[in-house]
Structure 1
Amino acid sequence: MIGYDPRRVTDLCRSREFAAELRNALDDRLRIDLAPKAVAALDQMITDEKLSPKVRLDVAKAILDRSGHGALEAGRTQGPEGDVMDSWSIDRLQKFISDFEEKLKEEEAKRAEVATDVTPSPVEELLEN
């Protein structure tokens, strides 16, 4: 840069303002120019029957992952609200278990009301008749 002190340029490049501007410029380039091209390439690949099923499956997974519909990491359980249960507090886990146990008891009571006893009569009763 003609007419600039190299130390001043270095200081400017290290500034928060410069970093923010650079980040914004890169984000704009990605969002406006590159992301649409990447989506178009993935769209073309997922429908290209010349590609192997493995490649098309990998493309499908990439699309789902980046759109927020990817698989959970191994060993992680998704709760009823869609959040990951391993991030729950002890109180929330205990409430979830308590609520589930209550629902289970209610369901068992409903089933008991309509159940038919099919216990066979003792052999002695059958022989007496």
Structure 2
Amino acid sequence: MKFILYSSDATLSDVDLQQLLAAAIEKNARLNVTGFLMSHSSGFIQYIEGEASTLDDLYEEICADKRHCHINTLLEANIEQRMYQDWSMGHVYIDDDQMIEQLKCTDGLTLFEILKARTLFLYPNDFSTQQA
């Protein structure tokens, strides 16, 4: 099993976020992929986890998706167990552009730790209600 953490630019006004989330939840449940998506005014930061070959195929599809540009793999590693086993696709919107810019300037491991702390400890109840 492994995880991938990546960022991408996207114009959210061109993306129906609710439709994207509904499709991701359905697809991830079918593929046994879990994780979360942080959206912000200029794109996404996403963490996905699952079986390595499934995740590699999914990430290849994400990279080919025309709604994304400037995709940047921030961190990728093998894992023993899932961190988000109950979330086909948790979601939170971050409207703090300054925070997003700071996150983009940090290294992948530091960003991963920040996002992990934010999603697991500050928003545990939000994810259960925002999974569509």
The two structures have a TM-score, normalised by structure 2, of: 0.19
Higher percent of residues as strand: 2
Greater C-alpha radius of gyration: 1
The two structures have a TM-score, normalised by structure 1, of: 0.20
